[in-house]
């Protein structure tokens, strides 16, 4: 890590802008530096961060009924997280509940568009100069003057005397021009895929524009987290997005452990990393097969499904669940590995490595596959940078960032590795990144298993102080996951916010599909594979 080499320049520029920084100090919100500013200085601060090429990463809010300095109605605290050179900065301000207005940062950071609208819908925050004021997460059953993430909104919701109106009036952009027509897709899809609405404008088979509307699987994660104990929050975090249950649980537990200043046993940390890499391998296998299947290369689909099934059955055998759900707990892990388990995993890794090499050669030599995937759905590097795309989506378009390498947490800080990164930005490259990441994960897994330390696998989580807060940042298989936790009285959760990588990757699909043909949408969509559940919260 660079230890905030950018900090003096940032503070100098903010001073030149006459920005008053209140209560700032190193690692107040570990691993981030925290800058608390007045709401009037918010836009100037964000502008300076954008000019210094900080990457926006997360945005959340917290409600307080305590008197605010400007009135007696309480306040809403807003925090925005940024990254530069592997270090993190959290910018924080407060607005009164009676007039919750704050400058929008969407024009500077386009990826904040939907998050600001999410906060608009659930907190009643008004973001001034926001280019798109339409609702995003707003449920039709909620009264217009009630906001679900405010503390005076009951967890069970308000009683609605009539049937909720259908969510049929979302104001999509309208198609115009000779020969332009619209194609609605979803929100209900074939099979078991989660719901999401895609509205195309096209001429012939060429896509002119795609607009997404998500939020159909809103589960109230942030609301039902309130009042839980630490173990209850860990269980909930594992259900933010089922295919990332290990990564989200680890991020939430890491946030709670940092809030309580808890140091975990080395064996527990290594076991968490083993589970995280197994999760990465399983999902990449599934995606590679699904991408091939979307262009009718079913052989690869069958082979990847076979390999993934064997991989997940072994995960169930040693970690109690095919997806390793609830295997990570506050203070450590629930399951240990025997020496026999270690040897079996090492053998399985060697076998998978051999099979993956063979399958990779087949995929590279298949001209029909190349014809469908190469130059399809190109996401150019400047757009990927502007959106802050993460994981395989970003790394196929020149974005190298990987939390495990660039902002390492234990045990990754002791195991250097190369991050696969390419420039072409098409579907073929996004598949290529997945394959390369499988090789990296298998190499890491082998080292973890060989060097697995002895010792305890869990320690008790201390009772957190009221108002203690923590930030957990891990590299999930889709990319960087951020979890924020604040404790209230008695060790109960006051606020939990998980930011899945899909918040930053879903908007990329709207851009990379343009000028492609409509029949290529399924494979473009699968190459991004955003999580509906992880986005909709």
Q: Is the peptide bond before 293 cis (omega within 30 degrees of 0)?
A: no
Pick from 504, 495, 402, 439: which is nearest to 77 by CA? 495
The tens digit of pLDDT for each residue in 439-482 reads 999 999 999 999 999 999 999 999 999 999 999 999 999 999 99
Q: Express each pLDDT in 140-177 by its tens digit.
A: 778 788 899 998 888 877 666 677 777 778 888 888 88
Q: Are strands 55-64 and 75-84 parallel, antiparallel or unpaired?
A: antiparallel
Is-contact 247 481, C-beta < 8 A? yes
Identify whether the C-beta of residue 435 lies closer than 8 Å to the C-beta of residue 356. Answer: yes
CA distance 97 to 95: 6
pLDDT value at residue 27: 56
The residues with which 184 forms a beta bridge, in sequence order, are 199
What is each CA distance from 159 to 143, 149, 321, 481, in whole angstroms? 10, 17, 37, 35
- Per-residue pLDDT band for 98 (boundaries 50, 70, 90) equals confident
Interatomic CA distance for residues 352 and 192, integer angstroms:
28
Cα distance between residue 228 and residue 235, in whole Å: 10
**Residues 192-204, buried b or exposed e (16+ Cβ, 10 A)?**
eebebbbbbbbee
The confidence band for 25, taking pLDDT boundaries of 50, 70 and 90, is: very low
Kindly indicate the confidence band of residue 21, based on its pLDDT and cuts at 50, 70 and 90.
Answer: low
Report the pLDDT value the prediction gives residue 18, as an integer from 0 to 100. Answer: 62
**CATH code for the structural domain at 221-329+340-536:** 1.10.645.10
Summarised one tens digit per residue, pLDDT across range 99-112 is: 899 999 999 999 99
> In the CATH scheme, what is the homologous superfamily, with its name and number, of domain 7-128?
NADH:ubiquinone oxidoreductase Nqo5 subunit (3.30.460.80)
Over residues 517-526, the mean pLDDT reads 94
Strands 197-203 and 206-213 turn out to be antiparallel
- Name the residue among 244, 225, 221, 232 with its Cα closest to residue 537: 221
Token representation of residue 522:
């399924």
Q: What is the pLDDT of residues 478-503, one digit of tens each?
A: 999 999 999 999 999 999 999 999 99
Decide if pLDDT at 10 tops 90: no
- Domains in the chain: boundaries: 7-128, 221-329+340-536
Tens of pLDDT, residues 214-248: 998 899 999 999 999 999 999 999 999 999 999 99
C-alpha 170/C-alpha 36 separation (Å) is 36
- The answer to whether 243 and 287 are in contact (CB under 8 A) is no
Burial letters 9-28, b for 16+ CB under 10 A, else e = ebeebbeeeebebeeeeeee
Q: Which contacts qualify for 202-207: CB closer than 8 Å, 24 or more apart?
A: 202/518, 203/177, 203/179, 204/179, 205/517, 205/518, 205/519, 206/515, 206/516, 206/517, 206/518, 207/513, 207/514, 207/515, 207/516, 207/517, 207/518, 207/521
Q: Which residues pair with 33 in a beta bridge?
A: 89
Q: Identify whether the C-beta of residue 401 lies closer than 8 Å to the C-beta of residue 84.
A: no
Roughly how many angstroms between the first and final C-alpha of the chain, as a whole number?
Answer: 31
Strand partners, 484: 471, 497
Q: Using only C-alpha atoms, what is the Rg of the chain? A: 23
Average pLDDT over residues 248-257: 98
Instruction: List the one residue out of 8, 12, 39 whose CA is nearest residue 26.
Output: 8
Q: How many CB atoms lie within 10 A of CB 257?
A: 23
**Angle, to 10 degrees, between the axis of helix 427-450 and the axis of helix 339-365?**
160
**Average pLDDT of the chain to the nearest whole number:** 91
- State the Cα–Cα distance between residues 103 and 41, nearest whole angstrom: 9
Q: For tokens 């492609």, what's the residue?
A: 516
Helix (H, G, I), strand (E, B) or coil at 234: helix
- β-bridge partners, 53: none
Q: Tell me which DSSP letter residue 456 carries.
A: -
């Amino acid at each position: 890590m660079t230890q905030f080499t950018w900090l003096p320049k940032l503070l100098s520029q903010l001073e030149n802008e006459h920005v008053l920084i209140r209560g700032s100090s190193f690692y107040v919100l570990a691993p981030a530096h925290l800058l608390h500013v007045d709401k009037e200085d918010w836009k100037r601060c964000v502008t300076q961060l954008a000019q210094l090429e900080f990457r926006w990463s997360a945005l959340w809010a917290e409600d307080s009924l305590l008197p605010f300095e400007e009135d007696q109605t309480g306040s809403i605290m807003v925090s925005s997280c940024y990254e530069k050179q592997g270090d993190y900065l959290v910018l924080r301000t407060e607005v009164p509940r009676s007039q919750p207005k704050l400058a929008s940062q969407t024009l500077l950071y386009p990826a904040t568009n939907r998050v600001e609208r999410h906060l608009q819908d659930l907190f009643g925050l008004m973001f001034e100069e926001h280019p798109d004021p339409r609702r995003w997460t707003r449920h039709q059953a909620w009264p217009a003057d009630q906001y679900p993430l405010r503390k005076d909104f009951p967890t069970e919701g308000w009683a609605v005397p009539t049937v909720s109106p259908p969510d049929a009036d979302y104001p999509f952009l309208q198609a115009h021009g000779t020969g332009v027509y619209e194609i609605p897709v979803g929100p209900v899809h074939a099979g078991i895929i989660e719901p999401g609405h895609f509205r195309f404008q096209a001429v012939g088979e060429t896509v002119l524009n795609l607009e997404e509307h998500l939020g159909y699987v809103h589960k109230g994660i942030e609301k039902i987290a309130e009042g839980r104990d630490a173990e209850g929050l860990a269980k909930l975090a594992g259900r933010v997005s089922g295919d990332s249950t290990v990564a989200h649980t680890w991020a939430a537990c890491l946030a709670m452990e940092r809030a309580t200043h808890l140091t975990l046993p080395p064996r527990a940390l290594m076991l968490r990393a083993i589970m995280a890499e197994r999760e990465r391998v399983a999902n990449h296998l599934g995606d590679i097969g699904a991408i091939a299947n979307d262009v009718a290369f079913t052989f690869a689909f069958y082979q990847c499904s076979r390999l993934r099934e064997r991989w997940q059955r072994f995960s169930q055998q040693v970690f109690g669940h095919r997806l390793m759900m609830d295997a990570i707990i506050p203070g450590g892990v629930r399951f240990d590995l025997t020496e026999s388990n270690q040897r079996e995993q090492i053998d399985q890794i060697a076998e998978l490595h051999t099979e993956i090499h063979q399958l990779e050669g087949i995929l590279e030599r298949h001209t029909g596959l190349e014809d469908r995937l190469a130059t399809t759905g190109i996401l150019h590097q400047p757009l990927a940078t502007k959106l802050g795309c993460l994981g395989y989506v970003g790394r196929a378009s020149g974005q190298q960032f990987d939390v495990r390498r660039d902002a390492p947490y234990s045990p990754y800080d002791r195991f250097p590795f190369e991050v696969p990164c390419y420039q072409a930005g098409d579907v073929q490259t996004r598949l290529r990144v997945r394959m390369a990441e499988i090789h990296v994960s298998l190499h890491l897994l082998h080292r973890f298993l060989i060097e697995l330390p002895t010792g305890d696998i869990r320690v008790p989580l201390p009772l957190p102080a009221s108002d203690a807060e923590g930030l957990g940042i891990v590299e999930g298989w889709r990319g960087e996951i951020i979890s924020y936790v604040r404790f209230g009285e008695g060790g109960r959760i006051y606020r939990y916010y998980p930011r899945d990588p899909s918040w930053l990757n879903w908007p990329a699909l709207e851009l990379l599909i343009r000028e492609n043909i409509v029949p290529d949408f399924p494979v473009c969509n699968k190459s991004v594979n955003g999580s509906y559940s992880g986005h909709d919260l």
